Amino acid sequence: MRTFLVAASLAVMALAGPALAAEARQDFTLVNRTGYELKELYVSPNKASDWQEDVLGRDTLEDGQSVRVHFKAQTKTCKWDLKVVYTDDDSSAIWSDINLCEVEKITIRYDRDRDVTRATFD
């Protein structure tokens, strides 16, 4: 009986592992290469009516640092919008329609000459 329970437990874990991984496929890493500190980070489903809560909470994201953004298991959409807010002047940058089922890392950079924050998606 004990052998059966161990085998059944292993089978459940083998099946649940990929399912749990599929649920969290929107997780990504944000890398700040702007030259400035970020005080807020918002990630909301595409076309949501609000930005929900600040992912950074009370923390900030210094230039050169990164943060791992983890989604709860009930989150099932792939298209997301991203907003960052700078600490120095409350300016912000927004990106829409990011397919987080395919993107694992987002690196943001500030272009001083054009006064725009750009993102690369890997």
> Is the Cβ–Cβ distance between 87 and 39 less than 8 Å?
yes
Query: What domains does the chain contain, in order, with CATH numbers?
Result: 26-121 (2.60.40.2890)
Judged by DSSP in three states, 97 sits in strand
Is pLDDT of 57 > 70? yes
Note the pLDDT of residue 8: 40
Note the pLDDT of residue 73: 63
> What confidence tens digit (pLDDT) does each residue in 61-101 have?
999 999 999 988 677 889 999 999 999 888 999 999 999 99
Note the pLDDT of residue 55: 93
Predicted TM-score (pTM) of the model is 0.78
Task: Report CA Rg, the chain.
Answer: 18
Note the pLDDT of residue 16: 40
Note the pLDDT of residue 77: 87
> What confidence tens digit (pLDDT) does each residue in 6-56 have?
334 334 334 443 433 445 589 999 999 999 999 999 999 998 899 989 999
DSSP 35: S
Q: How far apart are CA 108 and CA 66, in angstroms?
A: 10
